[in-house]
Chain A
Amino acid sequence: MSIIKRNKGDVWFKTTALLLAASIPFIFLLLFLLLIWQSRLSLRTFGIGFIFNSGWDPVRDQYGALPFIYGTFVSSILALIIAVPLGLGCAIYLAEVSQSRFKEWLATMVDLLAAIPSVVYGLWGLAVITPIFGLSMMSAGVLLAIMILPTITSVSREVLQAVPLSLRESARALGATKWETIKLSVLPPAASGIIGSTILGLGRAVGETMAVTMVIGNRPEISGSLMAPAYSLSAVLANEFAEASSNMNFSVMVEIALILLAFTVLINGVAKLLVWKIIGHNRIH
């Protein structure tokens, strides 16, 4: 006989907490299984060719996801091209250069950018960006750049701050200028984390829905011009998911959701591995 009597309340409490905690991976699995189950018709009919087919005409039961995949990636990469130099520059300014009170204010402002709802960005994009670039891939790229700037800035900043001070001090002691110090002893150890923050920004851009839907033009065509209307995976879901006219159409929409999910999970996984190496788990939300 055990000397310590298990308290019944303890057993109940711990079991309840475990069940509630375990419901998270349960929901996670259910979500994946349901997506695969509901897209089975499309998966079976079109196979892997679905990803490489560019014809899209739901009325004639013609489906190909390529225009959406193209739109998602071109707009996101456009966003990175604009946002990475700005975000990295801003992070360097915040972590290495500025000493003033202005710095705190700037960091808060950049973080607040992340709290603004996507639909408000879209509304603003319609008022400010589309008058310049039209409803086009370019507009989507510019708007996405603004939206992922806070992610790239704040993660890069944390990565830079994790570089030991002694590295900077030794470079300065040898007579290096600020720029030489950063180039020679801060950026190299921070490189993988900065790449991680970039990929994290890519993940945000790929999953972003409302703002893109509002400015990209929503036309399922692959055009060489950045000024032409385009479409993205998330935008086609926002516009057409609930309007699916047939079983096949619905199944195709679910498969598009599955593709979108697979891309973001993959991208975020890679990004977090790179960032975690430098600043540790649980720091990025």
Chain B
Amino acid sequence: MENNWSQSYSLRKAKDKIFLAAVSLAALFAVLPLIALLLFVVFKGAGSLNWQFFVNLPRPVGEAGGGMANAIVGTMAIVGLASMFSLPIGIFGGLWLAEWGKGKRGFFIRYAVDVMSGFPTIIFGIFSYMLLVLTLKRFSALAGGFALGLIMIPYITKTTEEMIKMVPRTLKESALALGVPEWKVMLSVVLRTAWNGIFTGVMLAVARAAGETAPLLFTAFNNNYWNFRLDQPTASMTVQIYNYAISPFSEWNNLAWAGSMVLVGLILFVTVTVRKYSKRINYG
């Protein structure tokens, strides 16, 4: 270690100043891309966003007034399916881990959840493709929902486990002491107490799933028309944004910006609201 204390005071002072300036600058640079990104999304998106975007189907190049109505509905359908699949597994899995998961089995399950949360999301798309698309022999909202559900499961499980561990023991014990069966205590005391926290976790998982593109590329695929059948290829906002973004036509690029604005607005709204709300959670 170099000998700091023999340096002159003014030199040490100067080094300190340089350090402070450097970290402040780093902080500024770290937040700059976000501001730039938001500005781009807002200005480019607002320029091409109109009511037609929300009610019309995609149109060929050259025809004005194309929209993403089917993709908006498609994203809702796929994320809805994903929630139906991942909520029971995530919530009851998290409950089991928090209440009975101290042993070897708990360690094993927790380990799987943890490793899965770090998987590249495209892997879930490939898994769903091999499991559902190859067997059903077509792309479908179901396969897309399955892939997104797999992404949501680790988030929901982790949050549920943490939230349930925060429920005071005394609350549970007093219910048990009154002779209430354990399963009823779990459902109407433990889960209900932890519900606000679990809900925020679920909403964050939903927001994340709605923003995913890679797992949908070869599961839900895409569709330029209305589709209300879950076993058919289904459009989603993210895949539509992707296709429009890499196309050479500027009017399609503009639609990609409009779609991004809607999607980012929605995701940031959910994230910010949930964060505000979750700060107020306490079990006192």
List A44-82 residues whose CB lies under 8 Å from chain B.
none
Q: Which residue of A lies closest to B210 (CB)?
A: A117
| Interchain CA distance A75-B9 in the complex, whole Å | 43
Q: Which residue of B lies closest to A120 (CB)?
A: B260
Residue B60 at the chain A interface, CB threshold 8 Å = no
In the complex, which residues of chain B have a beta carbon less than 8 angstroms from the beta carbon of A35?
A: 126-127, 130
In the complex, which residues of chain B have a beta carbon less than 8 angstroms from the beta carbon of A117?
A: 211-213, 238, 260, 263-264, 267
Take A34-B131, A123-B245, A210-B214 as given contacts and tell me if A115 and B267 are in contact as well, using a CB distance cutoff of 8 Å. yes
Contact call A17/B92, Cβ cutoff below 8 A:
yes
Cβ of B126 to closest chain A Cβ, rounded Å: 5
Kindly identify which residue among B97, B120, B260, B267 contacts A264, using a CB–CB cutoff of 8 Å: B120
Contact call B217/A238, Cβ cutoff below 8 A:
yes
Q: Which residue of A lies closest to B218 (CB)?
A: A242
List B252-266 residues whose CB lies under 8 Å from chain A.
256-257, 260, 263-264
Contact call B238/A119, Cβ cutoff below 8 A:
yes
In the complex, which residues of chain A have a beta carbon less than 8 angstroms from the beta carbon of B217?
A: 238, 241-242
Kindly identify which residue among A21, A34, A118 contacts B211, using a CB–CB cutoff of 8 Å: A118
Contact call B31/A116, Cβ cutoff below 8 A:
no
Cβ of B62 to closest chain A Cβ, rounded Å: 22
Cβ of A25 to closest chain B Cβ, rounded Å: 4
Kindly identify which residue among B29, B36, B115, B127 contacts A86, using a CB–CB cutoff of 8 Å: B29
Contact call A209/B214, Cβ cutoff below 8 A:
yes
List A67-120 residues whose CB lies under 8 Å from chain B.
85-90, 92-94, 96-98, 106, 108-110, 112-113, 115-120
Task: Please list the 6 inter-chain residue pairs (A to B) with the smallest Cβ-Cβ separation, ordered nearest first.
Answer: A89-B26, A207-B120, A117-B211, A13-B183, A179-B19, A242-B218
Residue B173 at the chain A interface, CB threshold 8 Å = no
Residue A132 at the chain B interface, CB threshold 8 Å = no
Cβ of B179 to closest chain A Cβ, rounded Å: 10
| Interchain CA distance A28-B117 in the complex, whole Å | 11
Contact call A28/B242, Cβ cutoff below 8 A:
no
In the complex, which residues of chain A have a beta carbon less than 8 angstroms from the beta carbon of B129?
A: 241-242
Given contacts A116-B268, A207-B118, A214-B246, 9 further A-B contacts (CB under 8 A): A25-B109, A28-B112, A88-B26, A89-B30, A90-B26, A92-B26, A177-B12, A179-B15, A207-B120
Q: Which residue of A lies closest to B242 (CB)?
A: A119
Take A20-B89, A117-B264, A121-B37 as given contacts and tell me if A265 and B20 are in contact as well, using a CB distance cutoff of 8 Å. no
Contact call B25/A89, Cβ cutoff below 8 A:
yes
Contact call B40/A127, Cβ cutoff below 8 A:
yes
Which of A161-169, A189-197, A221-229, A253-261 binds B?
A253-261
Residue A24 at the chain B interface, CB threshold 8 Å = yes
In the complex, which residues of chain A have a beta carbon less than 8 angstroms from the beta carbon of B242?
A: 119, 122, 210, 214
Take A28-B116, A117-B211, A209-B120 as given contacts and tell me if A124 and B41 are in contact as well, using a CB distance cutoff of 8 Å. yes
Contact call B214/A118, Cβ cutoff below 8 A:
yes
Cβ of B239 to closest chain A Cβ, rounded Å: 8
Kindly identify which residue among A93, A122, A237 contacts B245, using a CB–CB cutoff of 8 Å: A122
Kindly identify which residue among A25, A27, A149, A264 contacts B150, using a CB–CB cutoff of 8 Å: A27
Contact call A260/B108, Cβ cutoff below 8 A:
no
Kindly identify which residue among B89, B245, B268 contacts A119, using a CB–CB cutoff of 8 Å: B245
Kindly identify which residue among A85, A113, A260 contacts B120, using a CB–CB cutoff of 8 Å: A260
Take A86-B30, A97-B23, A184-B1 as given contacts and tell me if A119 and B162 are in contact as well, using a CB distance cutoff of 8 Å. no
Residue A146 at the chain B interface, CB threshold 8 Å = yes
In the complex, which residues of chain B have a beta carbon less than 8 angstroms from the beta carbon of A13?
A: 182-183, 186
| Interchain CA distance A27-B123 in the complex, whole Å | 13
Cβ of A12 to closest chain B Cβ, rounded Å: 7
In the complex, which residues of chain A have a beta carbon less than 8 angstroms from the beta carbon of B184?
A: 9
Contact call B183/A9, Cβ cutoff below 8 A:
yes
Contact call A22/B109, Cβ cutoff below 8 A:
yes
Contact call B112/A254, Cβ cutoff below 8 A:
no
Which of B46-54, B64-72, B152-160, B223-231 binds A?
B152-160
Best-buried of A119, A207, A210 by chain B (most CB within 10 Å): A119
Kindly identify which residue among B37, B96, B114 contacts A20, using a CB–CB cutoff of 8 Å: B96
| Binary flags per residue of B242-284, CB closer than 8 Å to A gives 1, else 0 | 1001100000000011001001100110011001000000000
Residue A178 at the chain B interface, CB threshold 8 Å = yes
Contact call A90/B30, Cβ cutoff below 8 A:
yes
| Binary flags per residue of B74-110, CB closer than 8 Å to A gives 1, else 0 | 0000000000000011001101110111000100110
In the complex, which residues of chain B have a beta carbon less than 8 angstroms from the beta carbon of A261?
A: 119-120, 123
Contact call B127/A208, Cβ cutoff below 8 A:
no
| Interchain CA distance A27-B97 in the complex, whole Å | 17
A-B contact pairs, 21 of them (CB 8 A): A10-B181, A12-B183, A24-B157, A28-B112, A86-B26, A89-B30, A93-B23, A108-B272, A109-B35, A110-B34, A115-B208, A116-B211, A119-B213, A120-B241, A177-B13, A179-B20, A207-B120, A208-B120, A238-B122, A257-B123, A260-B122
Cβ of B205 to closest chain A Cβ, rounded Å: 10
Cβ of A148 to closest chain B Cβ, rounded Å: 11
